[in-house]
Amino acid sequence: MGSDTLQQPDPVTNWPALPLAGWADTAATLHMWTQIVGKIRLALCPLVNHWWQVPLYVGVRGLSTSAMPYQDRALDIEFDFLDHNLAIRDSRGAAKFVPLYARSVADFHREFMAVLHSIGIDVKIWPKPVEVPDPIPFADDVIHASYDPEAVSRFHRILLRASAVIQQFRAEFLGKASPVNFFWGGFDLALGLYSGRRAPEREGADAMVREAYSHECIDVGFWPGSGALADPAFYAYAWPEPSGYPTSPVRPASAFYHPELKEFILMYDDVRRAPSPERTLLDFFESAFDAGANLANWDRAMVRRPLGLKTGSGSR
């Protein structure tokens, strides 16, 4: 298991340092906890295209399910990364809390399900995590047991800032677009933009992947690092990938195409160290989107708002 340590003092900024090596154990544990909560949402909410009923959402205190139906009431569940509690609330006024601290996935799962039961909520979930190698059933996982509240607070601040920039980027798009979703399977923040056309079926895809990629899309997002990338990064990709996309010019100069992931990558540190992180990140999303949309012959009139229309200003 090991302990997590972040070597640098953390100035209170929108773009704090968060090298994966400094909180890898905590990230792995938190990933499993979000999967447990996310599977409650999967069990309770009706299907929405591309599985948009399953993600969590970035909020001012952490990550939330939003309201979910249960029999004659509603409930929501929120990871509070300010007070470091998991809050469970329902429309009858019940409010329960599961503290977030260095504890095993098995212990968290046991207490969380017991708290749900105590307020009359009984939900069966698939007992194993998904989208991870060698999944351990939640009830048996005593390997993942780390929680560094400082690292989690930094992660939350990054999610807030990244979500704000992604929403700004989304505001220019006139076609079908997803919410800004936190997918607990991949442990990443994602936005999908769609051309409106059906996509060819992915070879060998299961039912979940077929639904997720049933239509042409360009996705952008952020994840804290794992697998082929050892540190946090922003990404952009097109499905299906049009011919010529990997060699398209994408800004800034530090962005690159990753042939294994088949995505354009901009490392998080290149964003946070830029003179204007927000502008740098918008340039990345916009240039990667333009490359994909142009090469795939998307309807350009559909995908940009008229110049001069103000968004996010609170005025008309």
Single out the residue of 237, 235, 236 nearest to residue 226, CA to CA: 235
By DSSP bridging, strand 181-183 and strand 95-99 are unpaired
Specify the residue for token string 């909560």.
37
Q: How confident is the model at residue 212 (pLDDT cuts 50, 70, 90)?
A: confident
Q: What six digits make up the tokens of 294?
A: 């142009």
Predicted pLDDT at 314: 47
Domain ranges of the chain: 20-140, 152-302
- The 10 Å Cβ neighbour count of residue 21 is 12
Give per-residue pLDDT as tens, 23-39: 999 999 999 999 999 99
Least confident stretch, 9-13, 41-45, 127-131, 210-214: 9-13
Residues 6+ apart with CB under 8 A from 290: none
What is the band of 309 on the pLDDT scale with cuts at 50, 70, 90?
very low
Residue 239 pLDDT level (bands cut at 50, 70, 90): very high
Tell which wins on pLDDT, 98 or 172: 98
- What share of the chain in percent tops pLDDT 90? 81
Instruction: Annotate 197-224 with b (16+ C-beta within 10 A) or e (fewer).
Output: eeeeeeeeeeeeeeebbbbbbbbbbbbb
